[in-house]
Copies of this chain bind each other. A is one copy, B any other.
Amino acid sequence: MRPVSQPIRVFVTGGTFDKEYDELSGRLYFKDTHLPEMLRLARCRLDVSVRNLMMVDSLDMTDGDRRIIVESCRSAAEDRILVTHGTDTMAETARALLAAGLGKTVVLTGAMIPYAFGSSDGLFNLGSALSFVQVLPPGVYVAMNGRVFPGDKVRKNRQTGTFEDLA
């Protein structure tokens, strides 16, 4: 089995991945996505196109936002799609994508620590998600903590900050 070298679409939606520190207000905020910089640092040689859909904390994500994500995945020319997403409602968006029956391989990932911090898990998760999206059959998946979960069988454990199987 050789991973396909089909083009991969990355949809950015914000989340901890892309949080920045605003030195004037002392608060975290969103400015731009770090995805292109991360792909450069990773010396990634995949055929990846990045598109920024929104820049929101996933706790603030609305049903309308989720419809935009679903429709963007549906109308994308690519069959292999990565969605960067805040971790808090990642499982909820996975359900929305599943319900849409897209017939594509969609992998959601995110980070517990902002990439702009020196010690983020984001680069590891990006490498993981971009690998799973190349080899998994059509479906919706969450890639976190080095693991991959079917989109309807996963939840974030708020106490530990890790993802786990939904019994």
Contacts and interface: CB of A to CB of B under 8 A. Distances in A.
Work out how many copies of this chain go into the complex: 4
A155 to B, nearest CB: 14
A52 interface: no
A143 B117 contact: no
Contact of A1 (B113, B127, B136, B147): B136
B121 A124 contact: no
A54 interface: no
Interface stretch (A41-49, A61-69, A70-78, A90-98): A41-49
A124 B41 contact: yes
A112 interface: yes
Contacts of A16: 23, 26
B114 A145 contact: no
A141 B7 CA distance: 21
A131 interface: yes
Nearest to A8: B146
Among A41, A42, A44, A119, which residue has the most Cβ atoms of chain B within 10 A? A42
B45 A162 contact: yes
10 shortest interchain CB distances as A-B pairs: A118-B118, A127-B127, A42-B124, A124-B127, A127-B128, A131-B131, A45-B145, A44-B146, A23-B112, A123-B123
